[in-house]
């Protein structure tokens, strides 16, 4: 069974990818420092798969740990999720973000080179496009200057990998530019676990509905969109996870020693914030307490992907609707709320 190292494998996207890798006959090996995840995620993965995967608790900046992992296991490919991802926090703590996300990637690549690992997937983001001049965005859409240190770490990350390959390193890598991942595993064993106040819309909606937050503020309803609220391309995390496995499969058969490419991973559809709220209300049967506030600095008006390239290269299609994603997010939130109320009773 082929070993795939999943950095950040206890995180939101990483944990779903671990499950999908297992379903496709791979042996995922996790490294995570649990700085933005909880150990219970590993139990959730076990409940779904019935397997205890090897977990290394530590930092990707720790090269002695990385060398130990590569020494202990023959690693066929790496899916590199481990990074900090809060845009606002990155503005307050840029050096922390550059160290973790950029130096972390450099640390990993040095060891990748030393151990001659062949295949790498890098978690990039649609933030590299900023507010594009034309929609939908293709992989050819020019990148805009990043509007946060976080966004910059994704742009720089892609460039570091490409430069490394161009310098002669034998490595095949693909940067997947995610649009907006939402939803949870349909079993509700794993899902998004935001520590503190969520940065993303969907966990904010579900936490508000669960009574953990008083109300949701929609940032602006005077944009040039059908209902005035911002448009994003929301993709179910299970579809996103599937794209990673297909990408690993593609890299394995890609017939060259060196390869670098970027792929958009979204649905190809945009939805407004109010459409997402409506979808939530219809699956939950609840009325969400929300109000319209001012626009939020740094928000782009609308962005959604063109996904022809990833469909063609990965032979991949999204399978889940916005409604299914909202249903799975809500089931996951209800499970979390039930667990925390039973924890506080016991």
Nearest partner of 196 among 30, 24, 26, 38, judged by Cα: 38
Shortest Cβ 345–ligand NAD spacing (Å)? 28
Helix (H, G, I), strand (E, B) or coil at 337: helix
Shortest Cβ 285–ligand NAD spacing (Å)? 27
In DSSP terms, which residues pair with 265 in a beta bridge? 178
Both tokens of 136, joined, read 């939908």
Shortest Cβ 86–ligand NAD spacing (Å)? 9
In DSSP terms, which residues pair with 180 in a beta bridge? 234
CB nearer ligand NAD, residue 285 or residue 299: 299
Give CA–CA dist 154/126, Å, rounded. Answer: 9
CB-CB contact of 334 with 184 (8 Å): no
Shortest Cβ 172–ligand NAD spacing (Å)? 19
Q: Calculate helix-pair angle for 273-284, 322-345, nearest 10 degrees.
A: 60
CB nearer ligand NAD, residue 22 or residue 232: 232
Q: Which of 26, 98, 129, 150 is catalytic?
A: 150
Per CB under 6 A, residues contacting ligand NAD are 8, 10-14, 31-37, 59-61, 81-85, 100, 104, 123, 125, 178, 180-181, 200
Entry field: residues in the chain:
346
CB-CB contact of 11 with 35 (8 Å): no
Both tokens of 310, joined, read 């990833």
Shortest Cβ 104–ligand NAD spacing (Å)? 5
CB-CB contact of 160 with 102 (8 Å): yes
- Residue, CB closest to ligand NAD: 11
Q: Any catalytic annotation for residue 26? A: no
Both tokens of 267, joined, read 């649905």
CB nearer ligand NAD, residue 157 or residue 220: 157
Helix (H, G, I), strand (E, B) or coil at 231: strand
13 Cβ contact partners less than 8 Å away, ≥ 6 residues apart: 81, 123, 178, 181, 237, 240, 241
CB nearer ligand NAD, residue 64 or residue 167: 64
The set of catalytic residues is 150
């Amino acid at each position: 069974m082929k070993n795939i190292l999943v950095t950040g494998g206890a995180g939101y996207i990483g944990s779903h990818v671990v499950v999908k890798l297992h379903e496709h006959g791979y042996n995922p090996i996790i490294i995570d420092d649990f700085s933005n995840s909880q150990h219970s995620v590993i139990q959730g993965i076990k409940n779904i798969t019935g397997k205890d995967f090897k977990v290394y608790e530590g930092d990707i900046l720790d090269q002695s740990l990385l060398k130990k992992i590569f020494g202990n296991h023959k690693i066929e490919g790496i899916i590199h999720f481990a990074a900090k991802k809060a845009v606002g926090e990155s503005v307050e703590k840029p050096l922390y973000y550059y160290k973790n996300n950029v130096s972390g990637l450099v640390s990993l690549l040095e060891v990748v080179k030393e151990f001659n690992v062949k295949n790498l997937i890098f978690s990039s983001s649609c933030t590299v496009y900023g507010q594009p001049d034309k929609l939908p965005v293709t992989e050819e859409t020019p990148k805009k200057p990043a509007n946060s240190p976080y966004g910059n770490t994704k742009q720089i990350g892609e460039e570091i990998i490409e430069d490394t390959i161009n310098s002669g390193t034998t490595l095949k890598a693909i940067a997947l530019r995610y649009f907006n991942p939402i939803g949870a595993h349909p079993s509700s064993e794993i899902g998004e676990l935001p520590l503190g106040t969520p940065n993303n819309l969907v966990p904010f909606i579900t936490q508000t509905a669960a009574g953990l937050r008083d109300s949701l503020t929609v940032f602006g309803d005077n944009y040039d969109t059908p209902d005035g609220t911002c448009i994003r391309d929301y993709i179910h995390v299970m579809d996103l996870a599937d794209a990673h496995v297909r990408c690993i499969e593609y890299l394995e058969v890609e017939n060259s020693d060196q390869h670098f490419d970027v792929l958009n991973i979204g649905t190809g559809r945009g939805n407004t914030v109010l459409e997402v709220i409506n979808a939530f209300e219809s699956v939950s049967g609840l009325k969400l307490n929300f109000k319209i506030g001012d626009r939020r600095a740094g928000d782009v008006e609308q962005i959604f992907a063109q996904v022809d390239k990833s469909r063609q290269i990965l032979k991949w299609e999204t399978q889940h609707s916005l409604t299914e994603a909202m249903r799975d997010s809500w089931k996951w939130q209800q499970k979390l709320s039930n667990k925390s109320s039973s924890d506080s009773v016991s």
